[in-house]
Amino acid sequence: MYHINDVVVYGNQGVCKVMDVGPLDIMENENKIYYTLNPVYQKGTIIYAPADNPKSVIRPVLSKEQANSLIKEIPDIETFCVGNDRDRESIYRTAIRTCDPRELVKILKTVYIRRKDRLASGKKRIIVDEKYFQIAEDQLYQELAYVLDKNKESMEEYITSNVTN
């Protein structure tokens, strides 16, 4: 159970601050507990998330140490090996739903390598790859920027300068 002022990652909404925990006033006869969440990077947005919904992924943000450790591990994180585009999209979608930063890194690495290989052989980028690259990048950079107290837009440069090969 999370508490008021905890900072969590909530599904595809990203980094959120817990503003309240308890039943909703608008649900008079229901004793169901909800988290009232304020997405850090979506000003003015409020989310009401059932505390006991097994389908929703909600987890604490990484610690600063965990974030820096993840960045240093990036060269060793495997990519996805998938034969066809339909399976690839399914794998990307499943990885996004986990809200696991290592899975997000896998997507980024996989798409980066595929993009590089395709461009080198004169082929165009694939829309599905680009779509999931953007989602994974946004979610990963949100969390890392928040816990490392950096600007989200500077995360790519920060990661590149801190990855050990």
What three-state secondary structure class fits 1? coil
Q: What is the CA radius of gyration of the chain?
A: 18
Q: Whole-prediction pTM value?
A: 0.90
H or E element, residue 64 = helix 64-73
Query: pLDDT (tens digit, 9 = 90+) per residue, 74-85?
Result: 999 999 988 787
Residue 149 contacts by C-beta under 8 Å, 6 or more apart in sequence?
none
Write the DSSP assignment of 117-157 as a string of letters.
Answer: HHHHTTPPPPHHHHHHHHHHHHHHHHHHHHHHT--GGGHHH
Say what the pLDDT of residue 84 is. 81
Q: Tell me, what amino acid is at 65?
A: E
Say what the pLDDT of residue 27 is. 63
- Report, as an integer, the average pLDDT of 124-129: 90
- Residue owning tokens 């953007």: 134
Query: pLDDT (tens digit, 9 = 90+) per residue, 100-111?
Result: 999 999 999 999
Q: Tell me, what amino acid is at 28?
A: E
- Is 60 exceeded by the pLDDT of residue 165? no
- Report, as an integer, the average pLDDT of 45-58: 91
- Residue owning tokens 């290989």: 117
Query: pLDDT (tens digit, 9 = 90+) per residue, 17-38?
Result: 999 999 887 766 578 899 999 9
How far does Cα 134 stand from its chain's mean position? 11
Say what the pLDDT of residue 69 is. 96
Higher-pLDDT residue of 31 and 94 is 94
- Is 80 exceeded by the pLDDT of residue 90? yes
What three-state secondary structure class fits 75? helix
- At 8, give phi and psi (nearest 5°): -130, 165
